[in-house]
Copies of this chain bind each other. A is one copy, B any other.
Amino acid sequence: MGTGIDLPLDQVMVGDCLDMLRQLPPASVHAIFADPPYNLQLKGSLVRPEGGRVDGVDDAWDRFDSFPAYDAFTRAWLTECRRVLRKDGTIWVIGAYHNVFRLGTALQDLGYWILNDVVWRKSNPMPNFRGRRFTNAHETMIWASRGPESRYKFNYAAMKSLNDDVQMRSDWLIPLCTGAERLRDEDGKKVHPTQKPEALLHRVILSCTSPGEVVLDPFMGSGTTAAVAKRLGRRFIGIERDETYAAAAQARIDAITPMPESAALSLPAKREQPRVPFGTLVERGLVPAGSRLVDRHRRWKAEVGADGTLRCGKAVGSIHKVGAAVQEAPSCNGWLFWHVEHPNGSLRLLDELRAEIAGS
């Protein structure tokens, strides 16, 4: 990694988010997950139909006097995060309708480039007791790169695998953090009011980091980000102001055993696999020089040159160039266009032949 010299890796920094962020070197973390205070502005307490009181979020850290005050706070920590984020890093920010629009606006104004907004659909949300609104059944995460030209990382194949081999969508159905996963104190009271489910962080961290990379959480709370990062073989930096939360998180993290690296590595995408030039197939006699390639419908035939070029009428060049030329298309992936014709008449795609010799 090369930049990790001064990084307090795999630690919880106890202190103010801004103070701690300022101690980190620039361009040093691969990903950030931030679950900032929600600015909920609840008035009075909410009472359930049967009389019980709803244990809502009314902690002091969650109250701001005004939108400008909240915006100033938001811009301050997002500015520091952008400094700390590597050029190719990405940030995730989660919020609900009370604050997420301020977060998104601030991200854009500070130069971040939004890649997706991702909806966490809660399978078991709290109902709306008064029947005055729709059940508030989701929260929104914003995924952004450092800027519009960033070459950010996205583990497309891993996300596709997670979703039964179809593209992962921007709406994720995941249950709330309940049961054994929810941290509770001796009295059975929940340690943190907004503990996020590990399944959510599993998908987030898997989507945009590789094993060994560094994930920063500037509002660590109960430590879900750090716990999942450790389990997935990533490094983490957690920042938490509240000492009770920090201690609970530390104990939780200590109990985690990382999974074997073979499990943490996701299936490499095709574009990350070693390349086999077409000329190699010619050299090895799989596609002999002088033989002919055809497209799927046998509309075009092309002759293979000893140097790995194709010829089809006037078109001469790589399998891609000639494929594009005969179709009069702007571009073409020759591997998926040209076929070898067997004497028995069956066709084999070049891409299949390539797969056979990859790794040999």
25 intermolecular pairs with C-beta atoms under 8 Å apart = A96-B117, A97-B114, A97-B142, A100-B117, A102-B108, A116-B136, A128-B167, A131-B167, A134-B167, A135-B168, A135-B169, A161-B305, A161-B309, A162-B279, A174-B283, A174-B284, A175-B360, A199-B285, A202-B283, A232-B306, A262-B303, A263-B304, A264-B290, A264-B306, A266-B309
Please tell me which stretch of A12-20, A118-126, A237-245 contacts chain B, meaning at least 4 of its Cβ atoms lie within 8 angstroms of it: A118-126
| A329 to B156 alpha-carbon distance, docked (Å) | 28
Q: Which of A68-116 contact B (CB under 8 A)?
A: 96-98, 100-105, 107-109, 114-116
- Please determine whether A169 and B137 come into contact, CB atoms closer than 8 angstroms: yes
- Please determine whether A284 and B199 come into contact, CB atoms closer than 8 angstroms: yes
**Residue A289 interfacial (CB < 8 Å):** yes
Contact with B along A164-180 (1 / 0, CB 8 A): 11011111001100000
Work out how many copies of this chain go into the complex: 2
**Residue A190 interfacial (CB < 8 Å):** no
**Residue A220 interfacial (CB < 8 Å):** no
**Residue A278 interfacial (CB < 8 Å):** yes
**Residue A61 interfacial (CB < 8 Å):** no
Contact with B along A185-207 (1 / 0, CB 8 A): 00000000000001100110011
- Please determine whether B305 and A289 come into contact, CB atoms closer than 8 angstroms: no
A241 to chain B, nearest CB (A): 26
Task: Determine which of B159, B162, B262, B279 lies in contact with A161 in the assembled complex, contact meaning CB atoms within 8 Å.
Answer: B279
Name the interface size band of chain A.
Answer: 35 or more
Closest residue of B by beta carbon distance from A124: B360
A49 to chain B, nearest CB (A): 9
Give the residues in chain B near A280, CB-CB below 8 Å: 162, 199
**Residue A308 interfacial (CB < 8 Å):** yes
- Please determine whether A277 and B164 come into contact, CB atoms closer than 8 angstroms: yes
